[in-house]
Amino acid sequence: MYAVIRTGGKQYRVAPGEIVKVETLPGDVGEKVTFDDVLAVRQDDRLLGKAAAAKAKVTGTIVEQGRHKKIVVLKYKRTNQYKIQRGHRQNYTAVQVSEIKV
């Protein structure tokens, strides 16, 4: 069984027991999180329709609040002596999915 959820403007395929890194969510480590925006649910080799997916909920617990590895952004123009180097680290929340209720 798995579900497709939408959070933070992105879609994630989740299954019970998985740890998923999503965009930052409010809360501390150990708190419960519920995702109500479920797009699809697959159960026992059949895909449930939109009506069943709209009623479904995915619950989990926050495992970690952290930051990804640094990404280096480099802008460069060769003849104009123009070079800008910046770094970026995106925040994330790691959620362990506990169950999918249909």
pLDDT at residue 86 above 80?
yes
- H/E stretch holding 82 reads strand 82-88
Identify whether the C-beta of residue 35 lies closer than 8 Å to the C-beta of residue 7.
yes
Identify whether the C-beta of residue 59 lies closer than 8 Å to the C-beta of residue 33.
yes
pLDDT at residue 77 above 80?
yes
What is the reported pTM? 0.82
Q: What is the mean pLDDT of the chain?
A: 93
Using a pLDDT cut of 90, give the percent of the chain over it. 83
Name the amino acid, one letter, at 63.
Answer: V
What letter would DSSP give residue 20? Answer: E
Rounded Cα distance between 58 and 46, Å, is: 18
Model confidence band, residue 48 (pLDDT cutoffs 50, 70, 90): confident
Using a pLDDT cut of 70, give the percent of the chain over it. 100
